[in-house]
Amino acid sequence: MKYNWNWGIFWQPAADGSGTWLHYLLVGVVWTLGTALAAWLIALAAGSVLGVMRTTPSKWAVRFGNAYVEFFRNVPLLVQMFLWFFVLPELLPTAIGDWIKQMPPPWSAYLPAVLCLGFYTAARVAEQVRAGIQSLPRGQMMAGTAVGFTLPQAYRYVILPQAYRIILPPLTSEFLNIIKNSSIALTIGLLELTARARAMSEFTFQVFEAFTAATVLYLLINIVVVFGMRWVERRLAVPGLIAVGGAPQAGH
């Protein structure tokens, strides 16, 4: 079989003149993490609000939360990416649309990518938050209101501190998902890790070296996140509060 391996390629200067190919890929890691973290803030905030809404007594809040989750779950992420990038600027008032379209790269791709990943993952976080809240015994909410808490107070001091601890493991895998999903932003021109590995393979023809490097970098990111979250779980664990084992779920 003919393939000319050349692992030294990583120390050769990259085509964009910024440094070596290794440096070029590492900048991709920064963009991947920068996109994922910014999107995660949106996902966590919006997902928490939506998840709580779906457990409140208000029928309309529940309906809105359900509709949101159904919409974002049933449209492929790539199509959503195109909706944010190509379609939204056209549907907004002309002035705002033009402002978005005229943003200098890479921000013109970064902003839609962050919004897309954030609001998509929010639907998945909302599902976890709802499941976490509903896994608590009903007596918790009743006890909260019985001691005189208002509904927001009962959520803040009784329900949510327990629910978040229960859903930490699934939230970790959602965070890993958002890192992996950020690679879809390459379709709208964001030069994150996968896009850079692809570009490197096209410039140098060292296809397998480039993809091996990207794979190893993704694995390293995964390991760091998993161990980091285990540490967080241990720090936040409350003795005697039993974690609820999750049922198998479909997902990525």
Partner 1 sequence: MLASFDWDVIQRSLPYLFREGMTFTVTLTVLAMFFGIILGTLLAMMRLSSFKPLAVAAGGYVNLMRSVPLVLVIFWFYFLVPYIGAWILRQNEPIKVGAFLSSVVTFTLFEAAYYCEIMRAGIQSIPRGQVWAGYALGLNYWQTMGNVVLPQAFRNMMPVLLTQTIILFQDTSLVYVLSITDFLGAASKIAQRDGRLVEMYLFVAVVYFIISYFLSYLVKRLQLRIAVPGKL
Cα angle 184, 187, 193; round to 5: 55
Near partner 1 by CB under 8 A, which window of 38-46, 52-60, 80-88, 229-237?
Answer: 80-88
Nearer to partner 1, 74 or 102 (CB): 74
Minimum CB–partner distance for residue 250 and partner 1 (Å): 4
**According to the binding rule CB under 8 A, does residue 57 interact with partner 1?**
no
Nearer to partner 1, 80 or 108 (CB): 80
**According to the binding rule CB under 8 A, does residue 76 interact with partner 1?**
yes
- Asked if residue 133 lies in contact with residue 56, where contact means CB atoms within 8 angstroms, the answer is no
Nearer to partner 1, 163 or 176 (CB): 176
Please enumerate in sequence order all residues whose Cβ is within 8 A of that of 179, keeping only pairs 6 or more positions apart, or say none.
32, 33, 36, 218, 221, 222, 225
d(CA 29, CA 183): 11
Please enumerate in sequence order all residues whose Cβ is within 8 A of that of 9, keeping only pairs 6 or more positions apart, or say none.
21, 204, 206, 209
| C-alpha dihedral, 246 to 120 to 39 to 201, nearest 10° | 100
Nearer to partner 1, 55 or 173 (CB): 173
Nearer to partner 1, 28 or 144 (CB): 28
The single-letter DSSP state of residue 251 is -
**According to the binding rule CB under 8 A, does residue 7 interact with partner 1?**
no
**According to the binding rule CB under 8 A, does residue 82 interact with partner 1?**
yes
Judged by CB under 8 A, the residue of 86, 107, 227, 231 near partner 1 is 86
- Asked if residue 162 lies in contact with residue 208, where contact means CB atoms within 8 angstroms, the answer is no
The single-letter DSSP state of residue 188 is G
Minimum CB–partner distance for residue 113 and partner 1 (Å): 13
Number of residues that bind partner 1 (CB under 8 A): 46
Please enumerate in sequence order all residues whose Cβ is within 8 A of that of 94, keeping only pairs 6 or more positions apart, or say none.
none
Near partner 1 by CB under 8 A, which window of 112-120, 125-133, 141-149, 186-194?
Answer: 186-194
Nearer to partner 1, 85 or 155 (CB): 85
Nearer to partner 1, 16 or 90 (CB): 90
What are the helix (H) ranges across the chain?
21-53, 59-73, 77-82, 88-91, 94-101, 107-134, 138-146, 151-154, 160-166, 168-181, 193-204, 207-236
Site residues (CB under 8 A) for partner 1, limited to 198-227: 198, 201, 207-208, 211, 214-215, 218-219, 222
Using CB under 8 A as the criterion, which residues of the chain lie in contact with partner 1 when the complex forms? 1-3, 70-71, 73-80, 82-83, 86-87, 90-91, 94, 176, 180-184, 186-187, 194, 197-198, 201, 207-208, 211, 214-215, 218-219, 222, 247-252
